[in-house]
Structure formats: C-alpha cells, structure tokens
Amino acid sequence: MLNIEDILKAKERIAPYIYETPLIPLENLNELLACKVFIKPECMQKTNSFKIRGALNKMLSMDKEEVKRGVVAASSGNHGKGVAFAAKLLGVGATIVIPDSAPEVKVKGIENLGAKVVQCPLSERHKIANELSESKGYINIHPYDDYDIMAGQGTIGLEILEQFPDVDTVVVPIGGGGLIGGISTAVKSQNPKVKIVGAEPYKLRRYGESVKAGKRVKLEEQKLEADALLTQIPGEKNYPIVTSLVSEFVGVKDEFLLKAMKLLLMEGKILAEPSSCIGIGAILQGELKVDKDEKVCFVVSGGNTSLEKIGELEEII
C-alpha cells in the first residue's frame, strides 16, 4: 500500500538530489482558461521531468548490494532519463528500453547520462525489459506500477500544498497512474477538499473506460502526440488508489494537446512537452469544466521537447 508516511520519507530521501520546482501563477492564462491558473512546472525539474523523483526514491530505497547488479527500465523516455540519472548517481549500470517512436530528444537525454538505450516497438518495451532483467540479472524499475515510484512522484503533492495551501483543484496527466497515484495520496490525506482531476488521451482513456467497466481494461495501442501517455492499461497497484481518490477523468484529443502547448508557450511563456499540456488541453476542449474563481494547479509533468516540435505549432490555430 501507499500512505502519506511513505511520501514524507520519499521527500527526505530524494530532497538532496532534486529541485523543488516553484509554483507559478500564470495570470496571463486566467481569462483564456476561465479559471485562476497555477503551474507546477516539472519541465524545470532536473532531467526536465518529474520521473526523476520516483526513480530516485526507488533506487535509493533498494539494498545497496542488490542495486549494484544494474537496472533496466521500460520507458517512453522520461522515466528512462530519471532512472539513468539515479543510476549515474549511484554508480551503477542502466539499460533503458524505449519505443522506436520516442522523440530523439529523449533518447539523447538518456544516452547523455551514460545509460544504454535499447529501442523496440512500443508494445514490446515491458516484455524486453523483463527479459533483460531475467537474462542479465538487472533489477527492473517499473515506470509506475510500484509503491516506491508512486511515493517519489507524490512528493509533488506535498510541495503543491506547502507552496499553495489555497489550491482548489489539481489537474494531473495520467499514463499508468504513477504520478496521479502519488499526488492524490499526498494531497487528499492532507486536505480532502482538494479536487484531483486526471487527464488522459482521448484515444487511450484506460482509466475512464476501466472505471466504466468496473475493472482494469486494456485498450488498443495508439500512436499519439501524447508520447509520454501511451500506456494501454492502468497499473495494478495504481488502479485502486487512483480510482478511490480522483474525482474525474477527462479524455483529451491530440489536437487540443498541441493547442494547449502553443498557448502555454506563446501566452504563458513556459515550454512543456505535448503530453504535459494535457490538463490545459482538457479545458480548451471543453471537457473539463472549471469556475472562474477556481484556483487550478496544472501539473506540467515534463519539458523534453525540441525546436522541431515547437516549429510544428505554426500550423496550430
């Protein structure tokens, strides 16, 4: 299980190695998004994504002798960069299994941290990571289906409440449920009145559909702009936590992800990767209803993107 004590311990464990990202009021967006806009910019985090928090908490919690065997991780990119960072810190080898379709900037970011990259078709990444774990003895660091990972990501929730106790709503991107599982546990156990919203790609509403079906549903593989949110099924450990604490799941189309990225960049002056703009996209799409006085904190989960991708925003109206 996961509780607030785990997250408080995670905070202590990882604090020396990460940044406490600021909580930025982005008043220029208030009118455009029809609420009071606040950003938790994990795009400004070390490795440019929140994933370093979970990876560090996991690997710093492990037995030192055990971790020396080296680690392997399946990742769409950001978790891999977090694991690569943690492995470098601990002086152990890391192999990251990443889809062929991952943005170049993520592959390079991992390689620059000294980890080995294995590319494969999207749907095979977990299978290959498991095989490498078995054949080479590497420890498999799962991107979300793990209590220590969730506890690490949950430190963002602690920071949000410390930095901005008045927050009404926290909007969090969902893939497997690691980030939102941690944040919702941290936030709800300290202030149950805060509403947590999960934003997932419209074509991969694995949480929305699972809740409807009353059990974890596996959806078909998709190619999307939301390259960090391609998980097909909610994590086993994440699912009960997330469904009990999250008030609402919204499905956001790629088109609105890119509109949101453009808005955040050109009006808000913050650069995030497409997946991380999904919460803002939910409002632009009319999928998430907010009140004009509602103080909404958008967790902008990562910023690993390229000038090339920014260039594509020219076409977006």
Binding window for a copy of itself (CB under 8 A); candidates: 70-78, 83-91, 153-161, 306-314: 306-314
Report the residue number, 78 or 95, with the smaller CB distance to a copy of itself. Answer: 78
27 binds a copy of itself (CB under 8 A): yes
The number of beta carbons lying within 10 Å of the beta carbon of residue 293 is 8
Residue 249 bridge partners (DSSP): 198
307 binds a copy of itself (CB under 8 A): yes
Residues 143-162 that bind a copy of itself (CB under 8 A): none
43 binds a copy of itself (CB under 8 A): yes
Q: C-alpha distances in angstroms, 51 versus 17, 228, 253, 295, 317?
A: 13, 11, 24, 25, 31
**CA gap 128, 135 in Å, rounded:** 10
Q: Which of 129, 270, 278, 288 contacts a copy of itself by CB under 8 A? A: 270
279 binds a copy of itself (CB under 8 A): no
Residue where the block lists tokens 């009990």: 244
Structure tokens of 11?
Answer: 């905070």
Q: C-alpha distances in angstroms, 283 versus 35, 221, 286?
A: 10, 25, 5
Q: C-alpha distances in angstroms, 303 versus 113, 153, 232, 250, 316?
A: 17, 16, 23, 22, 19
265 binds a copy of itself (CB under 8 A): yes
User: Contact at 8 Å (CB) between 106 and 304?
Assistant: yes
**CA gap 298, 143 in Å, rounded:** 21
Residue where the block lists tokens 């910023």: 303
218 binds a copy of itself (CB under 8 A): no
Provide, rounded to whole angstroms, the least separation between the CB of residue 311 and a copy of itself.
Answer: 5
Considering only CA atoms, give the Rg of the chain: 18
114 binds a copy of itself (CB under 8 A): no
Provide, rounded to whole angstroms, the least separation between the CB of residue 77 and a copy of itself.
Answer: 16
Provide, rounded to whole angstroms, the least separation between the CB of residue 158 and a copy of itself.
Answer: 18
Q: Which of 7, 10, 24, 55 contacts a copy of itself by CB under 8 A? A: 24
271 binds a copy of itself (CB under 8 A): yes
311 binds a copy of itself (CB under 8 A): yes
Structure tokens of 63?
Answer: 């037995």
Length of the chain, please? 317
89 binds a copy of itself (CB under 8 A): no
22 binds a copy of itself (CB under 8 A): yes
Residue 140 bridge partners (DSSP): 72
Binding window for a copy of itself (CB under 8 A); candidates: 8-16, 38-46, 72-80, 174-182: 38-46
**CA gap 128, 209 in Å, rounded:** 27
Binding window for a copy of itself (CB under 8 A); candidates: 18-26, 173-181, 208-216, 218-226: 18-26
By the criterion CB under 8 A, which residues form the site for a copy of itself? 19, 22, 24-28, 41, 43-46, 48, 265-266, 268-272, 303, 307-308, 310-311, 313-314
